[in-house]
Structure 1
Amino acid sequence: MPIATVGESASHDVQVTTETIDAFAALSGDENPIHLDESYAAETMFGGRVAHGMIAAAAVSAALASLPGDIVYLQQDLTFEDPVRPGEMVRAAVEVIEELESDRLRVRTEAFVDAREERVLDGEAIVLSLPHDDG
């Protein structure tokens, strides 16, 4: 399988549910009540429960894995721009924008909530792109 090249893109969708948020909290140990307690979260600036930002970032990781070849995450710069709420679908989109070295690429990374058509995450990643060995 060939390696990823400039201009190639991929995406990945994640349906965020209360179960997703609960499972992520258990896995990560991040039990902030803004993510887990609706009553508490309702009194915050968010006005209700929101997903961990890293759930949207994990969707970016899955989108990167959909690019050709074997992709190894080396670096990520990201900004969380808007919260994701239970029941929303997150679409992560990645696009290779620059070849840095023969095996390293700069990739634009974004995530959107489909229903609101709002970007919730913005950034760039550096990845190692290697040919896939089917052998």
Structure 2
Amino acid sequence: MPVATVGDAASAERAVTTDDIDAYAELTGDRNPIHLDEEYAGETAFGGRIAHGMYSAGVVSAALARLPGDVIYLSQNLSFENPVRPGATVRAEVEVVEHVGGDRVRVETVADADGDRVVSGEAVVLSVPHGE
């Protein structure tokens, strides 16, 4: 299988449910009431529950996994730009923009939810042929 090269792109998407948010909180231990308590969250600037920011980042990770070769995260910077509400669909898109040496490439990463940018950033990943 080939490795990821400049110009390669991939995407992934996931509909966000309250069950997903609850499961993410249980899995990670992040039980911030902005994510879990509708009454509490309704009193905040968000006006209701929102998904964990890293939930959207996880969809970015799923998109990276769809690039050619075996892809291993080395680093990621993220900007969280807008909240994601239950019922939204997060769509992540990634594109390899630079070969940075060896088996490493730099990848632009973005995610939108129902037309709003929710995450942007870039990653450096290791991309090797499958099975190596």
Q: Per the shorter chain, which TM-score range?
A: over 0.9
Runs of 4+ in 1 over 6 A off after TM superposition: none
Question: In the alignment, what sits opposite 2:32?
Answer: 32
Question: In the alignment, what sits opposite 1:124?
Answer: 122
Query: 1:57 corresponds to which letter in structure 2?
Result: A
- 1:102 shift after superposition: 2.7
Q: Does 1:55 align with 2:55?
A: yes
Alignment: residue pair count: 132
Distance in structure 1 (CA, Å) of the matches to 2:8 and 2:116: 23
Instruction: Output the TM-score relative to the length of structure 1.
Output: 0.96
3-state SS of 1:123 partner? strand
3-state SS of 2:20 partner? helix
Query: 1:129 corresponds to which letter in structure 2?
Result: S
CA RMSD of aligned residues (A): 0.9
Distance in structure 2 (CA, Å) of the matches to 1:97 and 1:19: 35
Structure 2 residue runs of 5 or longer lacking an equivalent are none
- 1:26 shift after superposition: 0.1
- 1:118 shift after superposition: 1.1
Instruction: Output the TM-score relative to the length of structure 2.
Output: 0.98
**Superposition pairs for residues 63-102 of structure 1, below 5 Å?**
63-102=63-102
Distance in structure 1 (CA, Å) of the matches to 2:128 and 2:44: 45
Structure 1 residue runs of 5 or longer lacking an equivalent are none
Distance in structure 2 (CA, Å) of the matches to 1:133 and 1:29: 33
Q: Matched residues, percent identical?
A: 62
3-state SS of 1:20 partner? helix
- 1:48-74 CA deviation, whole Å, 9 max, x = no partner? 000000000000101000000000000
